Structure 1
Amino acid sequence: MGRSNETFNKKEKEKKRLKKHQEKKEKAEDRKANSDKGKGLEDMMAYIDADGNITSTPPDGVPRKQVSLEDVRISTPKQIDEPEDAVKTGIISFYNTSKGFGFIAEDKSRENIFFHVNNLTFQAKEGNKVTFSTEKGPKGLVALNIEMAK
């Protein structure tokens, strides 16, 4: 007589696989039975009470307020930019004389602004207080007309 091809271990693995498959089917059926999909519009509505809290029940007998669309604000106000012609002040925080560029730390925003030696009107070094104007460059703000602060 020949041996059976199915060993005890193979039978156990098959039982576990079938049991797992059956559990998966039961879970899927349970999800379908308890699904929230397909609810009506009333079930999805949310209401705001007089105190501004969100509730699921509609207000009863409370007079409704009319709100105009102009009063509803859903964004932040635009930031007003300073005119680019305005003279700014700062301190030279880095300057590489051999390569001919550096950075100025602006006094108000402490932002580092790039400058090139061609925009200097004096011999600069780190720590100098300067006045300058800015313009947008390809990689950010660029300082122009850099002069020693008085």
Structure 2
Amino acid sequence: MARSQDSFSKKEKEKKRAQQRQEKQEKKDERKANAKKGKSLEDMMAYIDEYGNISSTPPDPNKRIEIKQEDIQIGVPKQAELTEEELIRNGVVSFFNETKGFGFIRDLQSQESIFVHINQMSERIVEGDKVTFEVVAGPKGYSAVNVKKVK
């Protein structure tokens, strides 16, 4: 007599697959029975309150704030323009490298460090010299121009 081609493990795997199919079908039937179709538009709406939180109730119209389009700033704000008296400043050379041709001037008013290039000087300067200079806004920040040594 011939033996059966199905082994014990094959039969177990087949039973397991059938059980999984049965469970899947039961879940599908349950979802169909509990499905809520036709929700109203009001039930699906979500609102954002004044603090940015999502809520199911509409916001209070009395708390509404009007915002002008010009007041909205996207990105980094531009630097403010300087007046004529703010342009000419006094300072002390805090660092200068003659071989590379640049340095920094410590502004006496704001204690800010301002870049200076050798092409913007009328005479040779060294560290510790007192100078007058004008400030120009460059692409990487302020830089000193028309640098003159104070005698």
Distance 1:7 1:82, change over 3 A: same
Between Structure 1 and Structure 2, the one with more helix by share is 2
Shift of 1:15: 5.3
Task: Write the deviation string for residues 83-121 of structure 1: whole angstroms up to 9, x where unpaired.
Answer: 257311222222111111112232334433221123223
Please identify the structure whose Cα radius of gyration is greater. 2
Structure 1 unaligned regions, length at least 5? 49-53, 56-68
Partner of 1:99, secondary structure, is coil
2:52 match: none
1:135 partnered with 2:143: no
| Unpaired stretches in structure 2, ≥5 consecutive residues | 48-56, 73-77
**Deviation readout 1:49-99 (Å, 9 max, x if unpaired):** xxxxx49xxxxxxxxxxxxx9xx8x849x9863225731122222211111
Q: How many residues align?
A: 120
Tell me if structure 2 keeps the 8 A contact 1:104–1:112. yes
TM-score normalized by the length of structure 1: 0.50
Q: What does residue 37 of structure 1 align with?
A: 45
Q: Residue 44 of structure 1: SS of its match in structure 2?
A: coil
Task: Give, in whole Å, the separation in 1 of the partners of 2:127 and 2:15.
Answer: 82
Letter in 1 for 2:105: I
Question: Residue type matched to 1:100 in 2?
Answer: G
Partner of 1:6: 14
SS in 2 for 1:118: helix
2:81 corresponds in structure 1 to 81
Q: What secondary structure does 2:128 align onto?
A: coil
For 2:119, the equivalent position in structure 1 comes to 118
CA distance in 2, matches of 1:129, 1:8: 90
Q: In the alignment, is the contact (CA less than 8 A) between 1:84 and 1:134 conserved in 2?
A: no
Change (3 A) 1:9 1:105: farther
**2:125 maps to 1:147:** no
CA distance in 2, matches of 1:137, 1:144: 11
Q: Sequence identity, in percent?
A: 32
